């Protein structure tokens, strides 16, 4: 009996032990802080999967997370990032414990500025600021993308409207940049108001600005590449709602399938025409821009190795002018009355839809395949004097792209990829063109010999485009070298571009908190996404635009707070596409569709565009930065300074004053082809000195204050030297139209971009008030632009209702103040409320 009892007790103890081993009583909770030693910051908002249990967790804003394990033992943590996975081993003891886990130091391609993000992205040409800092930066109207204007090597486009839609990166044309959203194309970064971006802030995880010889996986830019990375994990349902004077934004995100997937949706609606446009402060007949945008991202992880993502991005803008022709037009009170009766509208939009599959079999290799449909549209309709036309352009494509990286050895990582696109372009309407592209002062009311012509246009076609690239990342101790190469080919022109590049850096960790010296160089290429290559009205032999970039510099970190960066650069631009009135083909299709049946072929058909333009830029950049200390209410800020010069030459033959020799048409074409005589001059966007001073401080739980002071040398311009004598008038109201004239003597002190106005500077401030609740928080804000009412100018403007005189032209003032009825001047301001839940 005792023996049976003992056996029973043993079985009971054994069963109890077996139950206990699988019981939560043995479960262990471990509080850890994931910390990046190189960046000296916690790994915030990072998704973590415990491989053995298949459970998902996410760090907070400081990198802290509590992980749960069923029992003590060895576990594998997978840190899930949009661009790859990092695997780490963790030993878990029997007792709950807190510890700091240092993440692996990543070796990332060089060549850009990291504006914010969880990963270090560059070795050289890099500046990093936290997203929390740039979101509430004064003068940016809460737009993270606008913070790029304050970084070294970047010159903002000062203005209001479409002209403010680009930034100048190291002297390159603002139209030569490429913007990417999770490596997907967007047509334009800002709406037509020039104030707001097409991407919702709460979707942005990081922004990288590559201004040097950027990595080979990027393409189609001779200026810079702006890479926007979005959030890659959603732990719980959340949302945001913001209302301001000119737009309303909304954002919502939620996980699903027990954390295996998430969906994020955001959008924006602009109504500046209903607020500022209805204030009576603008001339009659001008309707300010209307716009909207939306972004959808859906991600699902079937397993830790297999992920599928779906994207849909849209944006739409339009702007209109309809100037009334009044019974009595007084040009002294209405300076635009000379354009009475003018009508114009402009629209642009894009849609990007993508399906992406990511395969991550381990921490040594990953591959990504993306199907893309990109649908950009631009259109206009204009009628003023001899300028009569409308045009619709739609260069869409469907493509497939593959990107992979392989950690071949401890010292070598290899990136490689390829892409194929099927282009479908459509371009129709009545294209408005200058009869002579070298004419710097065309007159819209010249009826005797019109300066503008309208050309019927109906172009459609298909073409293939493909590319391939590879980059090798060698790291030996503190030395890093990254050679790379890519090749792009456009079938419709049968032209390609081979673009090698390389970067190198060396770090001295014992000097302060680390001194890194770096350098880079290489060739980059771009082909504009337009129809300038079509065989009917364009040039099918156009080549890729190219640039050779070289740069070198250093970064010194003194401690976790202070650092200094210096870099010098030189860029040489060549084969830039430019309007060319002389280039032609001996025989070609008749571009005039109305005469196509009667005369299908014409001789000396103008090709309209060539690769004649070249240019160069050089300069240096300095940045002194003070970071805020994590975990405390500390101030942050930086001072950036850029000195640069930019030059361009169209290499087009021009007829100057004094050249009265009469050439035949054939002689003129031969001279123009082989003897270009245009002069190199400063680029119209050149600014020699650019300074930005940024300051921000969250001095209490309820308030944050920020300031931004900017200084820029004025852009160069060609001075107006007279007028045409008022030879033409507006036929609708009879008002004389005085057209400005410019020097055509290359030896004159007034020829070319030789004048500059007063220097530009302004002070912007922003005050934020936070109200915290159990469900989230409210953020009230007041932003004041140009606090001390500086009357900044940008070139000079000519009043066409009056002749040239000592008071005409006058400096052209930029947008930055508001004039109330009665003449009172106040700063431009924005008041708004943001709700996060």
Q: How many CA atoms within 13 Å lie on the side-chain side of 66? A: 5
Question: Do 94 and 163 sit in the same domain of this protein?
Answer: no
- Give the pLDDT band of residue 95 (cuts 50, 70, 90): low
Residues 389-412 have pLDDT tens digits of 899 999 999 999 999 999 999 999
Average per-residue pLDDT for the chain: 83
Most confident of 280-284, 499-503, 677-681: 499-503
Taking Cα atoms as reference points, which of 591, 689, 576 lies closest to residue 640?
A: 689
**Spatial distance between the Cα atoms of 593 and 380, rounded to a whole number of angstroms:** 20
The answer on pLDDT for 385 being more than 70 is: yes
Question: Do 204 and 276 sit in the same domain of this protein?
Answer: yes
**Spatial distance between the Cα atoms of 348 and 378, rounded to a whole number of angstroms:** 4
Residue 112 lies in a domain: no
Residue 129 lies in a domain: no
Q: DSSP state, 236? A: S
Q: Please state the three-class secondary structure of 682-736 as a single string.
A: ECCCCCCEEEEEEEEECCCCCEEEEEEEEEECCCEECCEEEECCCCEECCCCCCE
Residues 698-710 have pLDDT tens digits of 888 889 999 999 9
The answer on pLDDT for 252 being more than 60 is: yes
Query: End of a domain among 46, 78, 102?
Result: 102
Handedness of CA 15, 17, 21, 23 (dihedral sign): positive
Residues 354-370 have pLDDT tens digits of 999 999 998 889 999 99
**Spatial distance between the Cα atoms of 457 and 444, rounded to a whole number of angstroms:** 21
Per-residue pLDDT, 579: 87
Residue 535 lies in a domain: yes
809 burial via Cβ count (<10 Å: 0-12, 13-18, 19+): middle
Secondary structure class of 211 (helix, strand, coil)? coil
Judged by average pLDDT, the poorest of 185-199, 367-381, 567-581 is: 185-199
**pLDDT more than 90, % of the chain:** 39
Residues 222-231 have pLDDT tens digits of 998 888 888 8
Question: Do 655 and 773 sit in the same domain of this protein?
Answer: yes
The number of residues in the chain equals 837
- Give the pLDDT band of residue 56 (cuts 50, 70, 90): confident
The answer on pLDDT for 543 being more than 80 is: yes
Residue 677 lies in a domain: yes
Provide the pairing of β-strand 740-742 with 736-737: unpaired
Per-residue pLDDT, averaged over 77-106, amounts to 68
Question: Do 34 and 158 sit in the same domain of this protein?
Answer: no
Domain range for 417: 144-836
Query: End of a domain among 74, 102, 130?
Result: 102
Question: Do 238 and 370 sit in the same domain of this protein?
Answer: yes
The answer on pLDDT for 21 being more than 50 is: no
Residue 529 lies in a domain: yes
DSSP-assigned states of every residue in 339-377: GTT-EEEEEEEEEEEEEEEEE--SSSEEEEEEEEEEEEE
How far is residue 358 CA from its own chain's centroid?
Answer: 25
Range 704-707, long-range pairs (CB < 8 A, 24+ positions): 704/136, 704/767, 704/768, 704/770, 705/765, 705/766, 705/767, 705/768, 706/136, 706/137, 706/138, 706/765, 706/766, 706/768, 707/138, 707/763, 707/764, 707/765, 707/766
- Give the pLDDT band of residue 196 (cuts 50, 70, 90): confident
Question: Do 91 and 172 sit in the same domain of this protein?
Answer: no
Query: End of a domain among 102, 129, 163?
Result: 102
Per-residue pLDDT, averaged over 527-537, amounts to 79
**pLDDT more than 70, % of the chain:** 88
Per-residue pLDDT, 472: 95
Residue 120 lies in a domain: no
Per-residue pLDDT, averaged over 489-509, amounts to 93
Question: Do 220 and 345 sit in the same domain of this protein?
Answer: yes
**Spatial distance between the Cα atoms of 624 and 636, rounded to a whole number of angstroms:** 11
Residue 330 lies in a domain: yes
Residues 605-615 have pLDDT tens digits of 788 889 999 99
Question: Do 410 and 531 sit in the same domain of this protein?
Answer: yes
Counts for the chain of helices (H) and strands (E), in that order = 3, 49
How many domains is the chain partitioned into structurally? Answer: 2
Per-residue pLDDT, 180: 92
Per-residue pLDDT, averaged over 168-178, amounts to 90
Residue 426: φ, ψ to 5°: -135, 125
The answer on pLDDT for 195 being more than 90 is: no
Residue 371 lies in a domain: yes
Question: Do 92 and 159 sit in the same domain of this protein?
Answer: no
Question: Do 485 and 562 sit in the same domain of this protein?
Answer: yes
Per-residue pLDDT, 500: 96
Q: Which residue has the higher pLDDT, 603 or 494?
A: 494
Provide the pairing of β-strand 47-50 with 703-712: unpaired
Taking Cα atoms as reference points, which of 313, 294, 309 lies closest to residue 371?
A: 309
Question: Do 59 and 159 sit in the same domain of this protein?
Answer: no
Question: Do 64 and 206 sit in the same domain of this protein?
Answer: no
Question: For residue 50, what is the domain's CATH number?
Answer: 2.60.40.10
Question: For residue 832, what is the domain's CATH number?
Answer: 2.40.170.20
């Amino acid at each position: 009996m005792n023996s049976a009892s003992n056996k029973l007790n043993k079985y009971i103890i054994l069963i109890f032990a077996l139950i206990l081993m699988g019981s939560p009583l043995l479960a262990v909770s471990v509080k850890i802080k994931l910390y990046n030693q190189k960046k000296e910051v916690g790994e915030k908002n990072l998704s973590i999967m415990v491989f053995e249990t298949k459970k998902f967790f996410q760090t907070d804003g400081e990198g802290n997370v509590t992980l749960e394990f069923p029992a003590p033992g060895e576990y594998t943590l997978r840190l899930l990032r949009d661009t790859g996975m990092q695997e780490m081993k963790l030993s878990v003891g029997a007792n709950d414990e807190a510890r700091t886990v240092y993440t692996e130091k990543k070796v990332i391609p060089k060549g850009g500025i990291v504006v914010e993000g969880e990963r270090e992205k560059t070795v050289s040409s890099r500046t990093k600021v936290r997203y929390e800092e740039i979101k509430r930066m004064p003068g940016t109207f809460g737009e993270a993308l606008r913070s790029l204007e304050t970084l070294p090597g970047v010159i903002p486009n000062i203005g209001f409207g479409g002209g403010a839609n680009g930034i100048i990166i190291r002297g390159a044309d603002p139209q030569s940049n490429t913007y990417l959203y999770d490596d997907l194309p967007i047509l334009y970064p800002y709406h037509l108001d020039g104030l707001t971006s097409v991407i919702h802030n709460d979707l942005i995880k990081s922004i990288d600005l590559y201004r040097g010889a950027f990595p080979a996986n990027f393409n189609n830019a001779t200026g810079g590449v702006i890479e926007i990375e979005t959030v890659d994990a959603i732990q719980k349902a959340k949302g945001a709602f913001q209302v301001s004077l000119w737009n309303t934004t909304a954002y919502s995100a939620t996980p699903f399938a027990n954390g295996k997937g998430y969906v994020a949706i955001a959008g924006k609606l602009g109504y500046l025409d209903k607020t500022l446009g209805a204030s009576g402060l603008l001339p009659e007949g001008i309707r300010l821009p209307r716009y909207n945008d939306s972004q959808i991202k859906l991600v699902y992880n079937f397993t830790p190795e297999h992920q599928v993502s779906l994207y849909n991005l849209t944006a739409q803008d339009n702007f209109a002018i309809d100037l009334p022709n009044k019974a009595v037009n007084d040009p002294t009170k209405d300076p635009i009355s000379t354009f009475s009766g003018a009508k114009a509208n402009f629209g642009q939009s894009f849609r990007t839809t993508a399906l992406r599959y990511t395969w991550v079999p381990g921490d040594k290799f990953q591959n990504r395949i993306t199907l893309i449909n990109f649908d950009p549209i631009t259109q206009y309709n204009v009628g003023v004097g001899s300028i009569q036309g409308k045009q619709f352009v739609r260069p869409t494509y469907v493509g497939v792209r593959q990107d992979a990286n392989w950690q071949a050895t401890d010292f070598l990582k290899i990136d490689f990829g390829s892409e194929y696109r099927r282009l479908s372009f459509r371009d129709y309407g009545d294209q408005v063109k200058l009869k002579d592209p070298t004419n710097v002062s065309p007159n819209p009311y010249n009826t005797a010999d019109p300066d503008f012509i309208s050309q019927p246009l109906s172009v459609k076609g298909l073409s293939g485009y493909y590319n391939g690239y590879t980059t090798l990342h060698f790291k030996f101790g503190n030395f890093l070298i990254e050679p790379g190469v890519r090749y792009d080919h456009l079938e419709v022109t049968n032209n390609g571009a081979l673009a090698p590049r390389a970067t190198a850096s060396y770090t001295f960790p014992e000097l302060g908190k680390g001194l890194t010296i770096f350098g880079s160089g290489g060739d980059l290429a771009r082909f504009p996404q337009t129809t300038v290559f079509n065989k009917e009205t364009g040039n099918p032999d156009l080549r890729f635009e190219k640039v050779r970039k070289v740069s070198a510099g250093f970064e010194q970190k003194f401690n976790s707070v202070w650092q200094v960066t210096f870099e010098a650069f030189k860029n040489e631009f060549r084969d830039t596409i430019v309007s060319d009135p002389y280039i032609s083909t001996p025989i070609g299709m008749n571009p005039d569709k109305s005469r196509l049946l009667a005369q299908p072929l014409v001789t000396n058909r103008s090709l309209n565009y060539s690769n004649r333009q070249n240019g160069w830029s050089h300069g240096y950049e300095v940045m002194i930065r003070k970071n805020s200390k994590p975990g405390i209410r500390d101030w942050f800020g930086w001072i950036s300074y850029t000195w640069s010069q930019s030059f361009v030459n169209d290499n087009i033959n021009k007829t100057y004053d004094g050249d009265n020799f009469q050439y035949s048409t054939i002689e003129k074409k031969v001279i123009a082809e082989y003897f270009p005589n245009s002069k190199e001059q400063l680029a119209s966007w050149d600014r020699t000195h650019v300074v930005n001073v940024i300051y921000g401080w969250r001095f209490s739980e309820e308030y944050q204050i920020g300031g931004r002071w900017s200084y820029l040398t004025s852009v160069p311009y060609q001075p107006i030297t007279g007028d045409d004598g008022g030879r033409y008038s507006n036929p609708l109201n009879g008002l004389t139209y005085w057209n400005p004239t410019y020097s055509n003597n290359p030896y004159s002190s007034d020829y070319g971009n030789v004048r500059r106005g007063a220097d530009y500077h302004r002070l912007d401030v922003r005050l934020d008030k936070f109200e915290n609740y159990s469900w989230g928080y409210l953020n009230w804000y007041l932003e004041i632009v140009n606090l001390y009412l500086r009357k900044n100018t940008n070139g000079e403007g000519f009043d066409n209702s009056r002749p040239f005189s000592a008071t005409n032209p006058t400096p052209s003032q930029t947008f930055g103040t508001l004039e109330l009825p009665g003449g009172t001047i106040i700063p431009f301001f924005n008041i708004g409320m943001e709700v996060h839940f």
